[in-house]
Amino acid sequence: MAKVTVLIADDLKFFLEVEKSFLQRGGFDVVTAGSGQDAVDLALQKHPQLILLDLEMPQMDGAAACAAMRAQPVLAHTPIIIMSASSSAEIRERCLKAGCTEFVAKPQKPEELLGIVARILAVRQREGARITVVFNVVGSHGARQVVGQAKNLSEKGLLLQTAAQLAVGSVLEVEFFLPKTRYAVKAKAEVTRSAPTSEGTHEAGVRFIDLSQDDQEQILEYVSA
CATH code, 98: 3.40.50.2300
What would the pLDDT profile of 109-123 be if each residue is shown by its tens digit? 766 777 778 777 765
Between CA 31 and CA 68 the distance in angstroms is 18
Q: Any idea what the Cα angle at residue 168 is, between residues 166 and 185, rounded to 5°? A: 70
| pLDDT tens digits for range 171-198 | 999 988 887 777 889 999 999 999 888 7
Query: How far, in Å, are 30, 31, 79, 81, 168 from residue 45 at the CA level?
Result: 14, 11, 16, 19, 41
CB 160 within 8 A of CB 206: yes
Full domain range(s) for residue 43: 5-122
In terms of domains, do 106 and 20 share one? yes
Q: Could you tell me if 11 and 62 lie in one domain?
A: yes
Q: Do 180 and 167 share a structural domain?
A: yes
Residue pLDDT tens, the chain, 225 long? 456 889 999 988 777 887 887 787 767 888 999 999 999 999 999 999 899 999 999 889 999 999 999 999 999 989 999 999 888 889 999 999 999 988 988 877 766 777 778 777 765 544 445 788 888 888 765 556 777 888 788 889 999 888 788 899 999 999 888 877 778 899 999 999 998 887 777 889 999 998 999 999 999 888 876
Give pLDDT, residue 126.
43
Q: Which of 122, 156, 185 is the last residue of a domain?
A: 122
The tally of domains found in the chain comes to 2
Q: Point out the domain boundary residue: 72, 95, 122.
A: 122
11: DSSP letter: S
Same domain, yes or no: 97 and 52: yes
Of 101, 122, 143, which one is at a domain's C-terminal end? 122
Query: Cα separations (Å) of 213 from 51, 95, 131?
Result: 35, 38, 20
